[in-house]
Structure 1
């Protein structure tokens, strides 16, 4: 038996040597380059591809089944002269014996100079769809297909396992992938692709490193990127992991306006196709100054993916960040948006994203609530926030040079009028009517953005500062769609009073249309004027109802087209630096043909109420029913307020009871002859002057003098007649002198 075993061993050794010798002979004596035409034909017949072999073919048979191709290209049979792929060299080898066990044990796989060109034509057909398809002419000439073998003749091996992979390494040098869509003209490319891996084994971590330059033409973008990490996969469980993943790179192009973004992302990625879930944990993202942490999870990958997770953005200077990516903000107050941070839960789909449990800090303000983009394509934005304090003025652009120049010109005109407005004496001429407009002609409304805006907003503030007005407990509700912005409400407490407004802005017509309704209740008017940098000519609690419309895209155009109505009441007020009583004393002294002996006793005129109505027509407000309740006199007025130049022109009638002070000026004493007499005033000039722009109307004063003279004659008749004539005759005689 020992001899038999020894003989059998020698026989097997001899057979193995024969096989090795045969493999060596085949690989060295047989040259595959002599059979290129046959190889091409086999590729056409079996793989249905057009294979072009311009370089040499190298091969080995045992113990490695090796293949090396040089300068080869592949095309579809539908377009054999348009290769979709070519390469400079590919080299790989497989151990022969493990193939019998359905194991693929490969040495290093190298690919050099691969070019892959994918094209979709104008009809929407991609050249990759023809890969493996017979040529059209060949397909038409083929004989009818034979009936398929009965299914029972070959039972599938449901328990079979996938082929086991075992590759020492994979290296791809200088590869390029290009995609061209002729339907929309878009192009995408990935160039200078470098890929290297460690040993590739099932269910083990494989080091992977990939670098590439990516580019698109719509918009023009160039991206340099590098991916590094460890890839782990289990094809049986359909589970794929990218451990310790890190992506770094730089991006530039048209969307960045010539700026460069340096970005990085890292974390652990898991994709489980059996459960249709994926997650990105230990997420870290950076882009220039932006730093973010978080986690993302996705489910329902087989249908519409649903995303959830959390995101935290560290404090950053948002203004500088946006400028660094080519999207600078409009000019704002220094330091605006310099401290912005956010923490939120998020959820979304491929077309939407929602930030819930949002905590957002913007400079000195803190907001909580919810922000959602319901549709990326429609830019459908939904905002529901609650803030503590917010100064909106610091985020508004400063005045343009044109607006500043217009304001300066108007202020100079006002100062010139004010210099000569000595209201206390009443002797100076009326101020000239203003002619300079302080309104800007710069574009005010971003029409293009508003036309595309789909917005629903519900925001509340503990304190909102806008136009320098500190609004307490402010609430804002607005929506915009299709170019129509609707202000449902803007309300709040203002200087212990209250206000509310609603209206709309329609940018669909050629000229934007504005409609605004306001209600102001018991708000100190002087506080409003002071907040706008004006010296108030009047104090008092303002109650106002208005409904106005306007059209245009600048302050000047909106004012010039202003139409509508308003009603106002100013209670418990004071006309500052305007002693109407003194002016009236001057008028009475003139009628008495006397001179005031004392100096003016005060600068202001208090009043109980000032009220009336306004009718706006193309920027001019008519006020036909002005009534002022002043102790000792009643005041009625009729005039216009020209909002285009912020000027006024009024005729005022004042009925007085006289100087009722403890020691009245003798020249200002009111006798019976002044009872019921209405003294005229004319007020003209800039609104800022208030009552300082009022003067005695000397033209109307002559009529008053005639009436007073009639009263004096009537008094003398009364004295002469006494009780000697009937009352009817007395009245008739008095009437002769009152006409």
Structure 2
């Protein structure tokens, strides 16, 4: 609305001298006197390049050719205002009564240039030093009062261009602007319609100002306005002033946010689907915005919002409270972490991460939700605080239910000198089944315990971050079970495809260095079997090299152990029973060095011992006893691992 006031000020300055002398002077003298009057009031030149004549029919008024109004002395960007032609119509009967009633102003192809210097000086400060805008307005009113008043009924602008140059801030250039003003009663409401084209699609603005005269003079007036573009509608109903300041109800219905932003000449909103907003908004003269009783709908979620925004810092400062019920953010997952721009066709995405959003605002934001669906996992009741300062965001977990437990700690994203992320999180009451189901699709292991992790990484892509991971962590699960397999019976020589493994505890700790996780103390404690694990998992390279060793418990701690090696890529790991390690180092040496009869004797003993535990070993034609034993153990281990992991 401030631009409307500025535009009207320019038009009135150009027109006032023409109309005031219309009935007294012939057309050839109007231009010179009008130019002299404008120069004396503003110190700037008003130039008519064509003839200025009087139109008697069908509209009494003044017609001009090209006209231009000079810019401020400090500007070298051309005139502040120019138009190809102008026509001003007046009401003859009102002139007889002493009132100048302008029935019509038509401007053809006006070009308005608004400039602001680095020190804040504006080229629309039209009056000499010592005469404030308010004083000039009073003087004009008094002059009009001597003639009974000045009334502008209608203003039409076609094919206009509006340029705004700010040496200390944003600038813009809008072409193909159409505008109309209908103001039949000076004491009544005025209707203002604007058509802007920042991009290809038109943006329609319609407003009704109850007290336009007071509004232009700096008073507060009731204002109703609507902005329509790309099928969207944004409405305001309240009070506003030219300072600028405003307070009222804002309602927006945006079927396609990306199309709406494109119509405004801005970048994509990044929101798929319909968006809507409603709330009471206050904007003060010092640039502060307050939102109360707000509701916003986007991505299938509806949340309540209250916010305070201050614009007096290097970035807008936002203090906001957002609350919702069951929310979903699955649409933000995109293509997932495994895809993307990779050189080998697999692995983490190498596409650059745009973290510039961290530098848009500063402030403190609280988020509350009954649940949040992230696509890969579902969070329960959530209460988090987000503190943003100079491209660094700290997320504090005040209450976060995940994996049926409660998480505490914080996460940090820092983009001050390249993107880095870190987290320090503890989850208590964690349910192992929920964790494995959400993260790996495994639903046969259950148990409740605690998980801790401290992680730091940096990089401008998911690939870089995963390959730079460092930190440590641990988990400690109490009594639990594994459905579909009885490891205790299996390893004690009672094979079976079904059953349940009840374990007393499951624990492990790990370290992370350059994207490689190292674990040496995995311990699964069963009533009659103990299972240990050690190895590495290449999170960055998506590889695994791990040795899992179940062993029958006995007092001497030398019960039968059949290690299983898991190695290769995440997508296609190899599961290899290590019988050489099952027999022990001494037996392996004997098998290589002793005579044939000793070797056969040892094989026979090993076969008998294994048959006690895993059943009869049948030797096929052409197959050695050692190969038969190896095949029997390998088949048994593979079957049970598939059963454990939910395979056929």
TM-score where L is the length of structure 1:
0.59
Give, in angstroms, the shift of residue 561 of structure 1. 0.7
1-structure distance, mates of 2:367, 2:172: 36
Give, in angstroms, the shift of residue 556 of structure 1. 1.4
The answer to whether the Cα contact below 8 Å between 2:322 and 2:368 also exists between their aligned partners in 1 is: yes
Give, in angstroms, the shift of residue 696 of structure 1. 4.2
The answer to whether the Cα contact below 8 Å between 1:347 and 1:355 also exists between their aligned partners in 2 is: no
Match of 1:468 among 368, 376, 387: 376
1:368 lines up with 2:368 in the alignment: no
1:88 lines up with 2:50 in the alignment: yes
Residues 560/204 of structure 1: CA separation in 2 closer, same or farther (3 Å cut): same
Aligned residue for 2:434? 527
Aligned residue for 1:221? 174
Give, in angstroms, the shift of residue 298 of structure 1. 4.0
Aligned residue for 2:630? none
Paired residues for 1:185-334 under 5 Å: 207-212=153-158, 213-216=160-163, 218-230=171-183, 232-233=185-186, 243-252=189-198, 256=199, 259-270=200-211, 272=214, 277-298=219-240, 306-314=245-253, 316-327=255-266, 329=268
1-structure distance, mates of 2:419, 2:340: 20
Aligned residue for 1:558? 465
2-structure distance, mates of 1:126, 1:491: 61
1:683 lines up with 2:579 in the alignment: no
The 3-state SS of whatever aligns with 2:583 is: helix
1-structure distance, mates of 2:301, 2:251: 17
Aligned residue for 1:344? 280
Q: Which moved more, 1:617-626 or 1:517-526?
A: 517-526
1-structure distance, mates of 2:276, 2:215: 38
The answer to whether the Cα contact below 8 Å between 2:116 and 2:123 also exists between their aligned partners in 1 is: no
Paired residues for 1:459-498 under 5 Å: 459-489=367-397, 491-498=399-406
1:392 lines up with 2:329 in the alignment: yes
1-structure distance, mates of 2:440, 2:551: 35
2-structure distance, mates of 1:230, 1:172: 12
Match of 1:628 among 509, 514, 524: 524
Aligned residue for 1:133? none
2-structure distance, mates of 1:657, 1:116: 100
Match of 1:456 among 364, 372, 383: 364
CA deviations over 1:405-464 (Å, ceiling 9, x no partner): 899x6xxxxxxxxxxxxxxxxxxxxxxxxxxx63211123x2333234324211111211
The answer to whether the Cα contact below 8 Å between 1:567 and 1:613 also exists between their aligned partners in 2 is: yes
Residues 500/569 of structure 1: CA separation in 2 closer, same or farther (3 Å cut): same
The 3-state SS of whatever aligns with 2:455 is: strand
2-structure distance, mates of 1:125, 1:266: 32
Residues 405/126 of structure 1: CA separation in 2 closer, same or farther (3 Å cut): closer
2-structure distance, mates of 1:513, 1:655: 43
Give, in angstroms, the shift of residue 71 of structure 1. 10
Match of 2:513 among 593, 617, 632: 617
Paired residues for 1:119-158 under 5 Å: 119-120=71-72
Give, in angstroms, the shift of residue 568 of structure 1. 0.8
Structure 1 unaligned regions, length at least 5: 1-60, 94-106, 129-163, 190-198, 234-240, 410-436, 587-597, 659-671, 713-739
The 3-state SS of whatever aligns with 2:466 is: helix
Give, in angstroms, the shift of residue 339 of structure 1. 4.6
1-structure distance, mates of 2:74, 2:300: 55
1-structure distance, mates of 2:507, 2:377: 24
The 3-state SS of whatever aligns with 2:561 is: strand
Give, in angstroms, the shift of residue 319 of structure 1. 4.2
2-structure distance, mates of 1:406, 1:573: 42
The 3-state SS of whatever aligns with 1:395 is: helix
Give, in angstroms, the shift of residue 560 of structure 1. 0.9
Residues 83/345 of structure 1: CA separation in 2 closer, same or farther (3 Å cut): closer
Give, in angstroms, the shift of residue 86 of structure 1. 2.1
Residues 675/318 of structure 1: CA separation in 2 closer, same or farther (3 Å cut): closer
1:568 lines up with 2:514 in the alignment: no
Relative contact order: is structure 1 or structure 2 higher (C-alpha 8 Å, sep ≥ 6)?
A: 1
The 3-state SS of whatever aligns with 1:679 is: coil
The answer to whether the Cα contact below 8 Å between 2:105 and 2:155 also exists between their aligned partners in 1 is: no
Give, in angstroms, the shift of residue 475 of structure 1. 1.6
CA deviations over 1:230-266 (Å, ceiling 9, x no partner): 1544xxxxxxx562403132313xxx4xx32331312
Give, in angstroms, the shift of residue 296 of structure 1. 2.8
Structure 2 unaligned regions, length at least 5: 1-20, 81-96, 125-143, 165-170, 591-601, 606-648
2-structure distance, mates of 1:264, 1:600: 76
2-structure distance, mates of 1:178, 1:168: 25
TM-score where L is the length of structure 2:
0.67
1-structure distance, mates of 2:193, 2:561: 86
CA deviations over 1:470-504 (Å, ceiling 9, x no partner): 22221221122222222223642235322234121
The 3-state SS of whatever aligns with 2:381 is: strand
Residues 226/400 of structure 1: CA separation in 2 closer, same or farther (3 Å cut): farther
CA deviations over 1:277-311 (Å, ceiling 9, x no partner): 31233444433322244323246x7xx65432222
Aligned residue for 2:580? 698
The answer to whether the Cα contact below 8 Å between 2:380 and 2:401 also exists between their aligned partners in 1 is: yes
1:443 lines up with 2:328 in the alignment: no
1:68 lines up with 2:27 in the alignment: yes
Give, in angstroms, the shift of residue 544 of structure 1. 0.8
The 3-state SS of whatever aligns with 2:463 is: helix
Aligned residue for 1:426? none
1:508 lines up with 2:416 in the alignment: yes
Aligned residue for 1:167? 100
Q: Which moved more, 1:473-482 or 1:212-221?
A: 212-221
Residues 683/491 of structure 1: CA separation in 2 closer, same or farther (3 Å cut): farther
Give, in angstroms, the shift of residue 518 of structure 1. 1.4
Give, in angstroms, the shift of residue 688 of structure 1. 6.9
CA deviations over 1:95-114 (Å, ceiling 9, x no partner): xxxxxxxxxxxx94414125
1-structure distance, mates of 2:31, 2:351: 65
Give, in angstroms, the shift of residue 375 of structure 1. 0.9
Residues 526/614 of structure 1: CA separation in 2 closer, same or farther (3 Å cut): same
Root-mean-square deviation (Å): 4.6
2-structure distance, mates of 1:577, 1:645: 32
1-structure distance, mates of 2:148, 2:300: 54
Aligned residue for 2:12? none
Paired residues for 1:594-673 under 5 Å: 600-602=496-498, 605-657=501-553
Aligned residue for 1:113? 65
The 3-state SS of whatever aligns with 1:478 is: strand
The answer to whether the Cα contact below 8 Å between 1:680 and 1:697 also exists between their aligned partners in 2 is: yes
